[in-house]
Structure 1
Amino acid sequence: MFFDRKDLDDAALLHFYECLLLPRMIEEKMLVLLRQGKIGKWFSGIGQEAIAVGSTLAMKPAEYILPMHRNLGVFTTRNIPLRKLMAQWQGKLTGFTKGRDRSFHFGTQAYKIIGMISHLGPQMALADGIALAHLLKKEPLATLVFTGEGATSEGDFHEAVNVAAVWDLPVIFLVENNGYGLSTPVSEQYRCKNLADRAIGYGIEGRLIDGNNILEVFHTINELAADIRRHPRPVLVECATFRMRGHEEASGVKYVPPSLIEEWGRKDPLQNFERYLLQEEVLSPAMIVASRERIKAGLEHEIDLAFADEEPVADAAQELGDMYAPATVPYEPAGTGSSPVRYIDAISSALNLAMQRHPTLVLMGQDIAEYGGAFKITQGMAEAFGRERVRNTPICESAIVGAALGLSINGYKAMVEMQFADFVSSGFNQVVNNLAKTHYRWQEKADVVIRMPTGAGTGAGPFHSQSNEAWFTKTPGLKVVYPAFPADAKGLLLAAIDDPNPVMYFEHKYLYRALTEEVPEGYYHTPIGKARLVQEGEACSIITYGMGVHWALGYLAGHPGIAADLLDLRSLQPWDKEAVTTTVKKTGRVLILHEDTLTCGFGAELAAWIGEHCFRYLDAPVMRCASLDTAVPMHPVLEGAFLAKARLGEMLEKLVAY
Structure 2
Amino acid sequence: MTATTTPLTYTGYDLSDETLLRLYRELLRPRLIEEKMLKQLRGGVISKWFSGIGQEAISVGCTLALEPDEFIFTMHRNLGVFTGREVPLERLFAQWQGKPGGFTKGRDRSFHFGSTEHHIVGMISHLGPQLALAAGVALWHKMRGEPKVSLAFTGDGGTSEGDFHEALNIAAVWKLPVLFVIENNGYGLSTPVSEQYACDSLADRGKGYGMRSLSIDGNNILEVYSTIKQLAEEMRENPEPVLVECRTFRVRGHEEASGVKYVPDELIESWQARDPVTSFGEFLRHRGLLNDAVQLKWETEIKQAIEDALTTAADLPAVTASTENEIGDLFAPTPALRTSQPGNSVEKRFVDAISDGLREAMHAHPQLVLMGQDIADYGGVFKITDGFVAEFGKERVRNTPLCESGVIGAALGYAIAGGKAMVEMQFGDFVSVGFNQIVNNLAKLHYRWGQNADVVIRLPVGGGVGAGPFHSQTMESWFTSVAGLKIVYPSTPEDAKSLLIAAIADPNPVLFFEHKGLYRSLSGPVSEGYTPGEIGKARMVREGNDLTIVTYGAGVHWASEAVDSVGGDVEIIDLRSLTPLDYDAIRTSVAKTSRAIVLHEASLTGGFGGELAAWISEHCFELLDAPVRRVASLDTPVPFAPALEEQYLPKNRLTTAIRQLLAY
TM-score clears 0.5: yes
Letter paired with 2:541: V
Q: Report the more deviating stretch, 30-39 or 181-190.
A: 30-39
State the SS of the aligned residue for 2:48. Answer: coil
Is the aligned partner of 1:581 residue 2:587? yes
Q: Is the 8 A contact 1:329 1:499 kept in 2?
A: no
Residue 332 of structure 1 and its aligned partner are, at CA, apart by 3.3
Is the aligned partner of 1:383 residue 2:402? no
Is the aligned partner of 1:351 residue 2:355? no
Structure 1 CA distance for aligned equivalents of residues 540 and 472 of structure 2: 27
Structure 1 CA distance for aligned equivalents of residues 141 and 346 of structure 2: 40
Task: Give the corresponding residue for 2:72.
Answer: 65
Task: Give the corresponding residue for 2:407.
Answer: 400
Q: Is the 8 A contact 2:24 2:281 kept in 1?
A: yes
Letter paired with 1:222: K
Match of 1:363 among 370, 392, 406: 370
State the SS of the aligned residue for 1:110. Answer: helix
Structure 2 CA distance for aligned equivalents of residues 169 and 574 of structure 1: 36
Q: Is the 8 A contact 2:545 2:571 kept in 1?
A: yes
Match of 1:444 among 443, 451, 467: 451
Match of 1:329 among 325, 330, 336: 336
So what's the TM-score if we normalise by structure 1?
Answer: 0.99
Q: Is the 8 A contact 2:350 2:519 kept in 1?
A: yes
State the SS of the aligned residue for 1:282. Answer: coil
Is the aligned partner of 1:87 residue 2:94? yes
Match of 2:131 among 97, 119, 124: 124
Task: Give the corresponding residue for 1:185.
Answer: 192
Q: Is the 8 A contact 1:333 1:525 kept in 2?
A: no
Task: Give the corresponding residue for 2:638.
Answer: 632
Residue 4 of structure 1 and its aligned partner are, at CA, apart by 3.3
Task: Give the corresponding residue for 1:207.
Answer: 214
Match of 2:613 among 607, 616, 627: 607
Q: Is the 8 A contact 1:86 1:95 kept in 2?
A: yes
Residue 198 of structure 1 and its aligned partner are, at CA, apart by 1.1
Is the aligned partner of 1:27 residue 2:40? no
Residue 554 of structure 1 and its aligned partner are, at CA, apart by 1.2
Structure 1 CA distance for aligned equivalents of residues 203 and 115 of structure 2: 30
Structure 2 CA distance for aligned equivalents of residues 292 and 500 of structure 1: 45
Q: Is the 8 A contact 2:13 2:222 kept in 1?
A: no
Residue 149 of structure 1 and its aligned partner are, at CA, apart by 0.4
Task: Give the corresponding residue for 1:595.
Answer: 601
Letter paired with 1:27: E
Match of 1:568 among 567, 574, 585: 574
Q: Is the 8 A contact 2:600 2:633 kept in 1?
A: yes
Question: 1:109-188, aligned counterparts within 5 Å?
Answer: 109-188=116-195
Residue 21 of structure 1 and its aligned partner are, at CA, apart by 0.4
Structure 1 CA distance for aligned equivalents of residues 10 and 98 of structure 2: 40
Structure 1 CA distance for aligned equivalents of residues 397 and 11 of structure 2: 46
Q: Report the more deviating stretch, 295-304 or 361-370.
A: 295-304
CA offsets per residue over residues 545-591 of structure 1, 9 Å max, x none?
001011111122223x3221011110110111111011101110111
Q: Is the 8 A contact 2:337 2:505 kept in 1?
A: no
Task: Give the corresponding residue for 1:428.
Answer: 435
Match of 1:297 among 301, 304, 307: 304
The percentage of aligned residue pairs carrying the same residue is 60
Q: What is the number of equivalent residue pairs in this alignment? A: 657
State the SS of the aligned residue for 1:476. Answer: coil
Residue 8 of structure 1 and its aligned partner are, at CA, apart by 1.6
Is the aligned partner of 1:511 residue 2:518? yes
State the SS of the aligned residue for 1:130. Answer: helix
Instruction: Structure 1: give runs of 5+ residues left out of the alignment.
Output: none
Residue 125 of structure 1 and its aligned partner are, at CA, apart by 0.5
Task: Give the corresponding residue for 1:74.
Answer: 81
Is the aligned partner of 1:523 residue 2:530? yes
Match of 2:461 among 454, 458, 461: 454
Residue 319 of structure 1 and its aligned partner are, at CA, apart by 0.4
Task: Give the corresponding residue for 1:558.
Answer: 565
Residue 334 of structure 1 and its aligned partner are, at CA, apart by 7.5
Q: Is the 8 A contact 2:343 2:529 kept in 1?
A: no
State the SS of the aligned residue for 1:133. Answer: helix
Letter paired with 1:140: P
Q: Is the 8 A contact 1:108 1:114 kept in 2?
A: yes
Structure 1 CA distance for aligned equivalents of residues 389 and 274 of structure 2: 53
Letter paired with 1:554: E
Letter paired with 2:465: T
Is the aligned partner of 1:643 residue 2:649? yes
Residue 322 of structure 1 and its aligned partner are, at CA, apart by 0.3
CA offsets per residue over residues 426-479 of structure 1, 9 Å max, x none?
000000000000000010100100000000001111110001001111111000
Residue 92 of structure 1 and its aligned partner are, at CA, apart by 0.6
Structure 2 CA distance for aligned equivalents of residues 188 and 569 of structure 1: 51
Structure 2 CA distance for aligned equivalents of residues 305 and 336 of structure 1: 59
Task: Give the corresponding residue for 2:270.
Answer: 263
Task: Give the corresponding residue for 2:104.
Answer: 97
Q: Report the more deviating stretch, 543-552 or 305-314.
A: 305-314
Residue 12 of structure 1 and its aligned partner are, at CA, apart by 1.4
CA offsets per residue over residues 394-434 of structure 1, 9 Å max, x none?
00000011111101101100000000110000000000000
Structure 1 CA distance for aligned equivalents of residues 430 and 85 of structure 2: 39
Task: Give the corresponding residue for 1:545.
Answer: 552
Structure 1 CA distance for aligned equivalents of residues 527 and 303 of structure 2: 67
State the SS of the aligned residue for 2:504. Answer: helix
Structure 2 CA distance for aligned equivalents of residues 49 and 189 of structure 1: 23
State the SS of the aligned residue for 2:118. Answer: coil
So what's the TM-score if we normalise by structure 2?
Answer: 0.98
Aligned in 2, Cα 1:212/1:410: closer, same or farther, shift over 3 Å? same
Q: Is the 8 A contact 2:130 2:409 kept in 1?
A: yes
Give the RMSD, CA atoms, in angstroms: 0.9
Structure 1 CA distance for aligned equivalents of residues 399 and 316 of structure 2: 49
Structure 1 CA distance for aligned equivalents of residues 302 and 134 of structure 2: 33
Task: Give the corresponding residue for 2:4.
Answer: none
Letter paired with 1:284: N
Match of 2:346 among 339, 355, 362: 339
Question: 1:488-507, aligned counterparts within 5 Å?
Answer: 488-507=495-514
Task: Give the corresponding residue for 2:50.
Answer: 43
Aligned in 2, Cα 1:464/1:358: closer, same or farther, shift over 3 Å? same
Task: Give the corresponding residue for 2:3.
Answer: none
Structure 1 CA distance for aligned equivalents of residues 580 and 129 of structure 2: 27
Structure 2 CA distance for aligned equivalents of residues 427 and 38 of structure 1: 37
Task: Give the corresponding residue for 2:481.
Answer: 474
Q: Report the more deviating stretch, 340-349 or 282-291.
A: 282-291
Structure 1 CA distance for aligned equivalents of residues 336 and 268 of structure 2: 57
Residue 136 of structure 1 and its aligned partner are, at CA, apart by 1.1
Structure 1 CA distance for aligned equivalents of residues 66 and 318 of structure 2: 35
Q: Is the 8 A contact 2:59 2:80 kept in 1?
A: yes
Structure 2 CA distance for aligned equivalents of residues 219 and 331 of structure 1: 50
Match of 2:295 among 288, 304, 307: 288
Letter paired with 1:341: K
State the SS of the aligned residue for 2:613. Answer: helix
Residue 7 of structure 1 and its aligned partner are, at CA, apart by 3.0
Q: Is the 8 A contact 2:631 2:654 kept in 1?
A: yes
State the SS of the aligned residue for 1:41. Answer: coil
CA offsets per residue over residues 280-330 of structure 1, 9 Å max, x none?
111112211221122111211111111111221101011001000000133
Structure 1 CA distance for aligned equivalents of residues 437 and 309 of structure 2: 35
Q: Is the 8 A contact 2:55 2:276 kept in 1?
A: yes
